[in-house]
A and B are shown apart, each in its own frame.
Chain A
Amino acid sequence: SAVISQKPSRDICQRGTSLTIQCQVDSQVTMMFWYRQQPGQSLTLIATANQGSEATYESGFVIDKFPISRPNLTFSTLTVSNMSPEDSSIYLCSVGGTSGSHEQFFGPGTRLTVL
């Protein structure tokens, strides 16, 4: 299994500002995933972060709005830039299981409120 921590756990931000969310994993993983989950909604994949290469963004998400860093195999950051109230959501970091495991593990999430 993988233990994932995220910082901050929650934040309240002003419109137009940016917030960087950190994700730390207790083991080395190739791919890390960033999801958004709006209240009562499903998980939406924002991007896949690979160490040593540019993140791969899903349709509807762009690097200028959600820049991602992946400096090593245990850490990643997601920045939510120029925030608006529509960005209020829970942001989740996730990693796949070890080889042979199909399970995907999730961090505790960052609850973001934009005023």
Chain B
Amino acid sequence: EVQLVESGGGLVEPGGSLRVSCAASGLSFSTAWMSWVRQAPGKGLEWVGRIKSNADGGTTDYAASVKGRFTISRDDSKDTLYLQMNSLRTEDTAVYYCTTARELDYWGQGTLVTVSS
């Protein structure tokens, strides 16, 4: 059974930084392309970005709203995906979901990031 478990969410002030993680199990993580999708309170889903497998170049793509502020990385030795968020804004407040990227078929339970002073 595929499991994706996010962690690291919390309260951060505007302009601050936070790193959230996603621990994967039950899939071949090293060959998986992975994505982050977020959902602001009471709002719809928004794709944040993705990272390809290292075998496919390990390259990243980002939504325009986060490009230059957020960085997605992976540690295949730990089967873990990361989202480093810098220069956080109040509009980044959301539940952040980790998903498999090719077809968004597996999702974690999400971790809440609140940006507020």
Decide whether A and B assemble into one complex. Answer: no
Show the binding face of B for A, using Cβ within 8 Å: none
